[in-house]
């Protein structure tokens, strides 16, 4: 069926809005963005999420309806859900490059989250005016994503897969919702340290015959981009579209060691520590040595259930994202 180019140009922009983002600021931010976009002659069709997981459904609808661009109002967790919907919930992510270039609409982001680490990879300011600029003059860059499989599920992550103290931090962050970004993460980190006990993990990098890491872990993360937690430069050399994931494994350590390491993680200089192992990877397997189940998180959201083994791989160039034009 042939589409009418003139009609395509007049179709409203599809907005996916998380009204609960950043303690309820999402709805107000969406109203601001709609005012700016419609002031520039762009009609908007805003769809508001009603519950966790709904953003994924709305993104899937956008793909099926042939929407040309998707504008997301929310934080990293909302980006995580939208990516599932745009990439068919992860099941077809490997085949994303084989699709028609227009089958997955490019994503523009108006960040209204707590951490907004995905937005740091976009390299744009956080204003509604910048979103309008991206929609009019931005370039499409295809970001890598990670895919993780475990015995009961499969997801893609757009920035982070984590095991260790970050799981406890997520559970603590609800106590500090009045704080924002890095400050909220630091408060939750200090709170989580009181009860955290470092689990033993085994990480195989590159499949059988590859490198193996086995130790207690304070934090083991695999990322697409450089930062987590609203600005911790955990993998400072990571790039969104280099066809690789980046691993940072921080071995079990005392409170004093951990506290002394935190400023270095913020600056991205922690790789010099003998307790830290870093490197680029294409695939990895994460498990507990005894086969016990463990909790993990993806893009700042706790996994739906614990896993006995995580099989992780990069899916290069899977997610089209609008970024500022170069030059």
CB 199 within 8 A of CB 232: no
Question: Which residues lie below 8 Å from residue 321, measured CB to CB, with a gap of 6+?
Answer: 106, 107, 108, 109, 121, 122, 140, 141, 142, 143, 240
At the top level of CATH, which class does the domain 153-317 belong to?
mainly beta
Virtual CA dihedral for 31, 37, 40, 45, nearest 10 degrees?
-100
Q: Which two structure tokens, joined as six digits, stand for 107?
A: 């994503």
Q: Can you spell out the DSSP letters for 275-295? A: TEEEEEESEEEEE-TT---B-
Residue 130 near residue 33 (C-beta atoms within 8 A): no
User: What is the third-level CATH fold of 5-143+319-323?
Assistant: Rossmann fold (3.40.50)
Q: What predicted TM-score, i.e. pTM, was given to this entire model?
A: 0.89
pLDDT per residue as tens, the chain (327 positions): 333 434 445 678 999 999 998 878 999 999 999 999 999 999 999 999 999 999 999 999 999 999 999 999 999 999 999 999 999 743 444 444 434 445 899 999 999 987 899 999 999 899 999 999 999 999 999 999 999 999 989 999 999 999 999 988 888 877 777 776 678 778 878 888 888 899 999 999 985 557 899 999 999 999 999 999 888 999 999 999 999 999 999 999 998 999 899 999 999 999 999 999 999 999 999 999 989 999 999 998 999 899 999 999 999 999 999 999 986
How far is 318 from 171, CA to CA, in rounded Å? 30
Residue-range domain boundaries for the chain? 5-143+319-323, 153-317
């Amino acid at each position: 069926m042939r589409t009418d180019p003139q009609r395509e140009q007049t179709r409203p922009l599809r907005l996916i809005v998380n009204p609960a983002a950043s303690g309820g600021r999402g709805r107000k931010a969406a109203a601001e963005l709609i005012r700016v976009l419609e002031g520039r002659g762009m009609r908007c069709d805003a769809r508001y999420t009603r519950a966790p997981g709904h953003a994924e459904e709305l993104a899937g609808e956008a793909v099926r309806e042939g929407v040309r661009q998707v504008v997301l109002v929310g934080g990293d967790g909302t980006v995580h859900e939208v990516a599932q919907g745009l990439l068919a919930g992860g099941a077809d992510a490997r085949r994303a490059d084989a699709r028609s270039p227009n089958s997955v609409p490019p994503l523009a982001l108006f960040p209204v989250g707590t951490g907004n680490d995905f937005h740091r990879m976009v390299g744009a300011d956080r204003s509604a005016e910048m979103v309008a600029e991206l929609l009019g003059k931005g370039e499409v860059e295809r970001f890598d994503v990670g895919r993780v499989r475990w015995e009961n599920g499969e997801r893609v992550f757009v920035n982070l897969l984590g095991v260790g103290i970050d799981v406890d931090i997520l559970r603590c962050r609800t106590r500090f919702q009045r704080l924002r970004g890095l400050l909220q993460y630091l408060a939750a980190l200090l709170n989580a340290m009181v009860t955290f006990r470092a689990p033993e993990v085994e990480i195989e990098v590159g499949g059988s015959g590859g490198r193996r890491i086995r130790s207690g872990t304070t934090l083991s993360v695999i990322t697409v981009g450089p930062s987590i937690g609203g600005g911790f430069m955990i993998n400072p050399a990571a790039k969104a579209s280099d066809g690789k994931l980046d691993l940072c494994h921080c071995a079990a350590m005392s409170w004093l060691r951990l506290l002394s390491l935190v400023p270095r993680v913020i600056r991205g200089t922690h790789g010099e520590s003998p307790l830290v192992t870093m490197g680029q990877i294409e695939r990895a397997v994460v498990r507990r040595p005894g086969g016990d189940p463990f909790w993990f998180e993806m893009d700042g959201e706790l996994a739906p259930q614990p896993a006995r083994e995580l099989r992780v791989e990069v899916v290069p160039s899977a997610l089209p994202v609008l970024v500022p034009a170069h030059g």
